[in-house]
């Protein structure tokens, strides 16, 4: 499994995940994202799931990243296979966070980027 944070490009911070997401890999990715947000301010987040197979079992109740950095996130777009849509939107707490979150099909990367730039 991997969780890789790309460089900030036109105000969009990209997180690419594959395989089974572990808490430790998510924490590492969140730390990298935190460093970028601290340096640049507000961002849109583009989460891309490639060959994603779900989440590692465990206690996923650490909301410290959200508490500190949600005010700096303008929008979040998730791109992935349709079968993960409902679970992914629950995982990122769509409707409970202060910014809009949308899910796009795996072939909708350009649509997701365009939505983030609106």
Question: At residue 25, does pLDDT exceed 90?
Answer: yes
Placement of tokens 């939107």 in the chain: 89
Residue 10: Cβ within 10 Å count: 8
Find the angle CA(11)-CA(106)-CA(35) to the nearest 5 degrees.
30
User: How does pLDDT run across 63-107, given as a tens digit for each residue?
Assistant: 999 999 999 999 999 999 999 999 999 999 999 999 999 999 999
The hierarchical CATH code for the domain 2-117 is 3.40.50.10600
pTM for this entry: 0.95
> Which of 92, 84, 18 lies closest to 49, judged by CA?
18
CA dist list (Å): 109 to 46, 51, 86, 95, 106: 9, 15, 18, 22, 7
> pLDDT value at position 55?
96
Cβ-contact 102, 115 below 8 angstroms: yes
Extract the tokens encoding 114.
């365009």
Question: How high does pLDDT run on average in the chain?
Answer: 96
User: How does pLDDT run across 1-11, given as a tens digit for each residue?
Assistant: 789 999 999 99
Find the angle CA(115)-CA(27)-CA(53) to the nearest 5 degrees.
65
Parse the chain into domains and list their residue ranges.
Answer: 2-117
């Amino acid at each position: 499994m991997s969780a890789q944070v790309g460089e900030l490009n036109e105000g969009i911070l990209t997180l690419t995940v594959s395989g089974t997401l572990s808490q430790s890999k998510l924490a590492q990715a969140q730390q990298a994202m935190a460093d970028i947000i601290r340096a640049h301010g507000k961002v849109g987040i583009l989460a891309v799931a490639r060959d994603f197979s779900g989440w590692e079992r465990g206690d996923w109740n650490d909301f410290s990243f959200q508490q500190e950095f949600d005010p700096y996130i303008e929008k979040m777009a998730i791109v992935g296979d349709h079968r993960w849509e409902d679970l992914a939107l629950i995982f990122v707490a769509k409707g409970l966070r202060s910014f809009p979150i949308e899910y796009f099909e795996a072939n909708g990367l350009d649509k997701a980027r365009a939505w983030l730039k609106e």
